[in-house]
């Protein structure tokens, strides 16, 4: 499988039609929106790094579960042969928002 770059994955996320930004949006976006970080995992042995794997952690942030948006995102990633993992959904009582997290790429 050909791995997609973070830039390509971000372009796909931006095509979903909701605000999408790295970690923090410059202004308060309307809900729902996507916030992401870029992470790197190092595969190491014998005191050296052999491979670095880059992946995104993306959160769909909304005031209700966005099942249609989640399905749209998963379908888009699947159509582009990008691996993803559903991580968790949490509800923030104080902010009254849902945070649904996925790991994408890698």
Read off the pLDDT of residues 55-88 as tens digits, 9 standing for 90 and up.
999 999 999 999 999 999 999 999 999 999 999 9
Residue at token pair 């992946």 = 55
Residue at token pair 């994955």 = 9
Alpha-carbon distances of 51 from 1, 47, 54, rounded to whole Å: 16, 13, 10
Mean pLDDT lowest for which of 1-5, 83-87, 95-99? Answer: 1-5
Could you give the CA distance from residue 32 to residue 28 in angstroms, rounded to a whole number?
Answer: 11
Could you give the CA distance from residue 33 to residue 7 in angstroms, rounded to a whole number?
Answer: 18
What is the chain's percent helix, strand, coil content, to nearest 5? 20, 45, 35
**Threshold 0.75, pTM exceeds:** yes
Confidence of residue 24 (pLDDT cuts 50, 70, 90): confident
Q: Which of 64, 3, 14, 5 is nearest to 36 (CA)?
A: 14
Residue at token pair 């916030």 = 35
Rounded to the nearest 10°, the torsion over CA 25, 100, 38, 18 is -40
């Amino acid at each position: 499988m050909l791995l997609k770059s973070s830039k390509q994955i971000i372009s796909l996320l931006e095509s979903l039609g909701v605000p999408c930004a790295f970690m923090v949006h410059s202004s308060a976006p309307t809900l729902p929106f996507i916030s992401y970080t870029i992470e790197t995992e190092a595969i190491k042995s014998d005191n050296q790094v052999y491979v670095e794997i880059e992946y995104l952690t993306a959160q769909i942030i909304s005031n209700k579960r966005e099942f249609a948006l989640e399905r749209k995102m998963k379908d888009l990633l699947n159509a582009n042969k990008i691996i993803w993992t559903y991580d968790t959904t949490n509800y923030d009582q104080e902010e009254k928002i849902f945070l649904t997290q996925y790991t994408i790429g890698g």
